[in-house]
Amino acid sequence: MKKSLVLFPVLSVALPGGAGIFTNAPDADSFVRANAPAANYGGAGSLSVSGSAATNSSGVMQGVADSFLRFNTGAMVTSFNSLYGSNNWVIGSAFLNVTEVTGQMNAIFDEGAGAFAIRWIANTNWTEGSGTPGSPGSTGITYGGESSLLNSATDANLGTFTNSNLNIAHSFPLALPTAFANSLYTSGDTCLFLMALDSATGLTFNSRSFGTASARPYLVVSAAPPPGVVSAGFSGPNLILTSTNANTNAMYLVLTTTNLSMPASQWIPILTNTPNANGIFILTVATPPAATYGEFFIIRSQ
């Protein structure tokens, strides 16, 4: 008997120019210090991520410091919707761009290369404040209030990185766990939290209030139309699926079922693959009897 075939999602065509890129400026950022748990530094012009043993340029330890950044994705979502159609796009990558600086004139900023973590935090309810190193504020985010903003059950790790302790620009590639990705798709706030993992880490970088706009921190996100099937056919016992609009850094999964009403979470995974440099991948699916798998297929990113 001739086999029938149904594929999901439907055809998706690549747009000229490939992925779209949007640069999000923070609408709030600040650092907090363990040595001054009630002080706010939201107007400092710099942010600090410091381990307990890091020292300033004079060799004096200034204690643990963590940084918070908040970005509103409303303009980005509007831009991608305009490019690709409402909700007809997927995020391919996210980078946090910062400009590291050394030799700070104020003594509270530590220096030193070391590991640090970038995390997405679910809690967006904090105030930047306007305190400076010379005149710390009494309102806004503080180290004393940090624990109320962090939740290991909801927050997500976006990666571990190492700074250079040089005057240099960095572009840190962020992982895209579901919670973080969903916050980017939503037209609202998304927050990043940076903390030292090594006691000697002393990362200082320009904040959103720094005088030179190009040296401020940015969250740079790329997006493209979702991957879609452009051709399908049989070659002997194999089903050949050719797709496009795929992210070259992503892994894709083929799932199948005999019951189209079954939730996608219950479909059976049968194959994974990565696309080529042009964002195109060809999946060869051995087709067993319909009673084993069926003939409905989904391609999705992992």
The helix (run of H) or strand (run of E) holding residue 253 is strand 252-257
Q: Quick one: pLDDT at residue 7?
A: 42
Q: Tell me how far apart the alpha carbons of residues 201 and 186 are, in angstroms, rounded to a whole number.
A: 33
Q: Tell me how far apart the alpha carbons of residues 209 and 225 are, in angstroms, rounded to a whole number.
A: 34
Omega prior to 9 cis, within 30 of 0 = yes
Domain extents for the chain? 20-224, 227-301
Q: Quick one: pLDDT at residue 272?
A: 75
Q: Tell me how far apart the alpha carbons of residues 86 and 79 are, in angstroms, rounded to a whole number.
A: 10
CA dist 44 to 33, 65, 78, 138, Å? 13, 13, 31, 14
Q: Quick one: pLDDT at residue 288?
A: 54
Which of 186, 172, 174, 187 has its CA nearest to residue 217? Answer: 172
pLDDT along the chain (302 residues), means of 10: 36 44 97 98 97 94 97 96 90 95 90 97 97 95 98 97 96 96 94 98 96 96 80 72 70 77 80 71 63 62 64
Q: Tell me how far apart the alpha carbons of residues 128 and 31 are, in angstroms, rounded to a whole number.
A: 9
- Quickly count: other Cβ atoms within 10 Å of residue 233's Cβ: 10
Q: Quick one: pLDDT at residue 260?
A: 80
Q: Quick one: pLDDT at residue 139?
A: 94
Q: Which amino acid is at 246?
A: A
